[in-house]
Structure 1
């Protein structure tokens, strides 16, 4: 047995906290001020086509107006030039509303600071060019904590690390409810891992108690439930969470290793004794049933003692020749 035991992979994919794993002592997060809605947009191909047509018409108007002005029609030429310039500027301005949205991305749209919606449809889309658009990735992400050193429920220093798979669920909350949702997830993940670590021991003294090493699946469910509550305000969904590192701190690792080894030896001896008692019982029962040796209480006790020594001893038994009897 080593000081660091492998932690079984126990993925959990909750959309809501699993039943029976409701987190406790988790701070209550404020309600979100805004929630995601779909932004009004049109296909960008049509907008691009209209913009190019307007651009070409504006250029043509400027060129034709210049020709009229040079030919003597100064008033008509100047008017046509002005109209061409306005159409050209309007076309360029309108094409500023074009957005290329890749799969796994979204655009948070604001008009003069007010949230107007989110574009999730991939491809070329067009929105009001007066709006500002912020790109938000909706792809699945990983966050792995550094190796954290904390005290478990028994006060023993331990080291642990976790990996969390998460995804932005509500782009409006991720943008407006927190300053930096990536940093927010990282900080809340570390806080949740530390909180879970101090709630449970590395190894439980009670056989029915939960421990970080012996009940990784249940602890992982509680970690996922607590993370779900903590990051809900940022519009983030926890896809999966698991422990990647779990060990005693170096300063107590050798002492805890001896404790684990002693526990293994005690458990092995207990199994050996239970098996030996059953074998001795069977042997005495068969001898008494076949009645080929008459055993009084003293001989029965001696036989039980010898059989237990042979079966439970950690060394090879040394036979002893008895030339007399038990009574001489």
Structure 2
């Protein structure tokens, strides 16, 4: 009787699974993440980086490292700023009769002092019907009276001003704005104030040819018509060095940003460009007290350096468009003629005869329209 004895090696370990494939990268290292850490609810401490880009926290359960977010670049243009305290306000003026009266009193005072001092000629004394007086001479009292009367006369007559419709006076005393005068007629203004005349009427300005570009970047020369007026005389006069020069530069800057198309172009119209120019120029000129109503291109042409080439290109495009239109019309006419002949049973055509008929009709129609046969 034979006995079968199963022998199990004592040193043999557990059964191994399928063999692992070799590593693609020799220095590969893998770190195992415990399962309970993937679904934890503990808050992730935020990291703050002073004076740097914003830090975005990692997403829960992904093991993702914190990322840096670049601050978005500013997309809005800075708006021109003027001193907010510089706003037009009415100046204090007096009626012109006050200045005339003060000047007349000063002149009369000079005459009386001259008579008092005995310096008035006898002819003037008789003309003014003044009593005869020997005169005390020019002493300190007479000189003081002379000075006062002359100052009153100069102050009265020197402050007279005439206000006109559509004109304004901007008053300035030692560099400080003292108000604006929009009154008309004769008035009296302090002669110590510096006066600056400003035209507040509705005005228009036709520019010289300015550089511009169309939607494809082709150089153009544009003449624009700007309708504008001064709304705030204080800001227009004191806020900038020259508001007319400032307005001209605003128009030039707007032409750089807005594409202008030639009249009749399929890509756009002059009216669209004019509306965009009006909005841009009005926004830039408003802070300095200039109100812009319209900026419209009145003449658009190619720049001299590209005028010849672009004119030839434009003529070629128009010619190609005309040829395509004529060819489409001829093909439609030939197709309609052949269809009518065959459907009404007037002729019976095979393929060869049909091709010959189509060719002959095409030549005839093209010759009738003044176009060579294709």
Alpha-carbon distance change, 203 to 164 in structure 1, aligned in 2, over 3 angstroms: closer
**TM alignment of 1:263-274, pairs within 5 A:** 263-274=317-328
TM superposition shift of 1:260: 1.5
Give the match for residue 144 of structure 1. 207
* 1:166 equivalenced with 2:228 (yes/no): yes
Residue 185 (structure 1) aligned to one of 247, 261, 274: 247
When the two structures are superposed, what TM-score results if normalisation uses the length of structure 1?
0.70
Moved more, 215-224 or 279-288: 279-288
SS at match of 1:179: coil
Q: Deviations over 1:53-89 (max 9, x none)?
A: 3124313431453369965889xx9868755652442
Give the match for residue 216 of structure 1. 270
SS at match of 2:92: coil
Moved more, 183-192 or 294-303: 294-303
SS at match of 2:216: coil
Q: Deviations over 1:135-172 (max 9, x none)?
A: 22234252523443x55443433333434343322211
Over the aligned positions, Cα root-mean-square deviation in angstroms equals: 3.6
The 2-side partners of 1:32 and 1:275 are apart by 67
Give the match for residue 102 of structure 2. 51
* 1:260 equivalenced with 2:289 (yes/no): no
TM superposition shift of 1:107: 0.5
Greater RCO, 1 or 2 (C-alpha within 8 Å, sep 6+): 1
Give the match for residue 281 of structure 2. 227
The 2-side partners of 1:250 and 1:53 are apart by 66
Give the match for residue 99 of structure 1. 161
Alpha-carbon distance change, 294 to 251 in structure 1, aligned in 2, over 3 angstroms: same
The 2-side partners of 1:72 and 1:279 are apart by 119
* 1:125 equivalenced with 2:187 (yes/no): yes
Is the Cα–Cα contact under 8 Å of residues 41 and 126 in structure 1 kept in the other structure? yes
Alpha-carbon distance change, 147 to 80 in structure 1, aligned in 2, over 3 angstroms: closer
The 2-side partners of 1:203 and 1:97 are apart by 55
* 1:280 equivalenced with 2:280 (yes/no): no
Give the match for residue 19 of structure 1. none
Give the match for residue 80 of structure 2. 29
TM superposition shift of 1:245: 4.5
Q: Deviations over 1:288-319 (max 9, x none)?
A: 464433445654454333323332465577xx
SS at match of 1:284: helix
* 1:246 equivalenced with 2:300 (yes/no): yes
Alpha-carbon distance change, 97 to 203 in structure 1, aligned in 2, over 3 angstroms: closer
Alpha-carbon distance change, 72 to 105 in structure 1, aligned in 2, over 3 angstroms: closer
